[in-house]
Structure 1
Amino acid sequence: GGWTDYALRRAKSDEAIKACAEKGGVIGITPFFAKKPGNSTLTDDILDQIDYAANLVGAKHVGFGSDVDFNSTLDRMAYISQYPENVDKTYFPALDKDWGYGWLRYMPNLTKGLVARGYSDAEVKGVIGENFFRLFKKVWRG
């Protein structure tokens, strides 16, 4: 399916994504492996992946999974800078100007992109966090 087009190491097959959704789950789209070759922006590439998953299983089963502990981002980037020989460059592609290292500062680009692509307000809120919150409330009874 479309996920193999990105050649992402941690990507899930269409079948796995569908199985997750059938159980009420949410698939997280991560920016770390989203950058496609060429001149597109990382934001557009992430949005393409969100579109793909939403078209496959519905937007209520898709969430932005940053895969980043925002408090440790600087430590992670310092490690990558200090020990580049330990980092697989195909696994951690360079971040472009859309995102850079200040992740939270660039989140509005994701929201604006979802709106521009025709997602409803409810779908946008779901993708940027509410879908995961809904799932957590269902699973974590406490």
Structure 2
Amino acid sequence: MVDHAVHIAELVGPEHVGLGLDFADESEEEYDFFGYDERYYPRPPWVWPAGLEWLHHARNIAPALASRGFTPAEIDGILGRNFLRVLAAIWGS
């Protein structure tokens, strides 16, 4: 996941990177019940990136980004502030 963030940041800048941590752990039956669209969400079982197998591992992302040279402000942006900035621009403050 961090490699992807680095790659995108190198292409367009870290102010345009944001990580979405939408974890789900549904069964096949729940997948059908909730009506997921296979064009966007493949059928379970889902595999998470190594080192981020569950939500509590998210605390490892900031140190990993820092070790790759991101500043604290860039890390804040990647972890959510970039989304907030864009939404504020779209919807107004």
TM-score normalised by L of structure 2: 0.73
- The CA RMSD over aligned residues, in Å, is 2.9
Higher-RCO chain (CA-CA 8 Å, sequence separation at least 6): 2
Is 1:112–2:63 an aligned residue pair? yes
Paired residues in the alignment total: 84
Q: Distance in 2 between matches of 1:120 and 1:47?
A: 14
Q: Distance in 2 between matches of 1:80 and 1:59?
A: 39
TM-score normalised by L of structure 1: 0.50
Per the alignment, in what secondary structure is the counterpart of residue 18 of structure 2? strand
Q: Distance in 2 between matches of 1:48 and 1:111?
A: 13
Is 1:127–2:78 an aligned residue pair? yes
Residues 64-83 of structure 1 aligned to structure 2 (within 5 Å)? 64-66=19-21, 68=22, 73-74=24-25, 76=26, 78-79=27-28
**Alpha-carbon contact 1:47-1:113 (below 8 Å) kept:** yes
Identical amino acids, percent of aligned pairs: 26
Q: Which has the higher strand share?
A: 1
Q: Any unmatched runs of 5+ in structure 2?
A: 33-41
Q: Distance in 1 between matches of 2:69 and 2:78?
A: 13
